[in-house]
A and B are shown apart, each in its own frame.
Chain A
């Protein structure tokens, strides 16, 4: 196992076989559950991200890597249909599989909702995420003309967050109860909801009543006094997203 490592002479370090670099690499090889980032596929994805930004300059605001290996395209909300049909149709992209559409609620932002489309290319075994933003009122163009499978995903985003989709064939609630008011996944919607349902034996039917919790909501402080991630002591919190430079040489 040690023979596979870089020869010690080229490293110029001490010849001790149990130097820290050797042990971490050996430890990495013993952890098959940790994802190994393949540099070649990462470069290919970075190239594709730059190519997509070059092909769609009107809509692509930023291209980044999340978690080292996952390509993300951040686009303007008016560009949902052109970008998705480009990704599906282009011969060097062929992201024909829509994996999921989901929403994100960040109430502090001006456009609080984010809509995330995840695509997969069977031909090239590659994944990409497309993210747009909107606020509570502005609608987003539906992706159903491009991907038929977007139907129920968009219904779910509408039901849970309240994001309206234009030109959707059948936009209505999908997970909440008939006549349910409110959008449950929003951050200002309480955990146990506003109404509760119970069976009333006198009226012999179910009744909806404002929820009454037996105890006040308790917020526990579950932080442990010991440091949790000693290996990540010096990492910055924003290190997860690495922006891809679109024009690396020209701007300088």
Chain B
């Protein structure tokens, strides 16, 4: 009896699709992020392939929001500050690309920094960096020179 039920299960195992196949064990990570990882059927990819990075179905919207926040944060820094000029250059170039290119895969190719979700993550980190720099006012001249023999090695 058991052998026949096992045979039945093996036969039906292959006929079932991937999503309803019996899992080996209950992965708590998958259970916790089940809702967040759901992707609508029309999207070109089902997952980014990276743990913890979930597919973003409207990357243009997210990217333009984050880039505009970065530009606003950069506006609080002095105009001749090197970080401000270089970062504004990069962000404006990316924003222009985002606004002209509507196809997601083409946009990924043009930006050339990996998947679009990774680009969004990079932009979020850049925003945190901008805010940290504005808070600490990193454009001012050196706070304090190191004491005389602080960085000499060997000591003597």
Contact = CB atoms under 8 A, between A and B. Distances in A.
Interface of A: 51, 54-62, 74, 76, 78-79, 81-82, 85-86, 88-92, 94, 96, 106, 108-111, 123, 133, 146, 237-238, 240-241
B129 A92 contact: no
A81 B155 CA distance: 28
Contacts of A123: 113-114
A81 B132 contact: yes
B147 A111 contact: yes
A contact face: mostly helix, strand, loop, or mixed = mixed
A240 B154 CA distance: 10
Contacts of B114: 123
Given A86-B129, A88-B125, A109 B90 contact: no
Contacts of A57: 138-142
Given A91-B113, A111-B150, 8 more contacts: A56-B83, A58-B137, A89-B128, A92-B90, A108-B155, A110-B147, A133-B146, A133-B150
Interface string B125-155: 1111110110111111111111101111111
B30 to A, nearest CB: 22
Interface centre among B113, B127, B128, B135 (most CB of A within 10 A): B128
Interface of B: 81-83, 86-87, 90, 113-114, 122, 125-130, 132-133, 135-147, 149-155
A73 to B, nearest CB: 11
B138 A76 contact: no
Contacts of B113: 91, 123
B107 to A, nearest CB: 16
A61 B133 contact: no
A82 to B, nearest CB: 4
Contacts of B128: 85, 88-89, 146
10 contacts: A54-B82, A55-B81, A55-B82, A58-B140, A89-B132, A91-B122, A92-B86, A92-B90, A109-B155, A110-B147
Contact of B138 (A82, A96, A111, A240): A82
Contact of B83 (A55, A78, A109, A110): A55
Given A89-B126, A90-B126, A96-B125, A238 B152 contact: yes
Contact of B126 (A55, A91, A240): A91
A106 B152 CA distance: 11
A160 B143 CA distance: 29
A79 B129 contact: no
A86 B87 CA distance: 11
Closest 6 CB pairs of A and B: A89-B129, A89-B125, A55-B83, A82-B136, A85-B132, A54-B82
B132 A82 contact: yes
Contacts of A55: 81-83, 86, 138
Contacts of B155: 106, 108-109
B154 A238 contact: yes
A86 B144 contact: no
Contacts of A76: 142-144, 146
Given A86-B132, A133-B146, A56 B126 contact: no
A96 B64 CA distance: 22
B44 to A, nearest CB: 23
B87 A91 contact: yes
Contacts of B83: 54-56, 86, 90
B125 A79 contact: no
A81 B135 CA distance: 11
B136 A109 contact: no
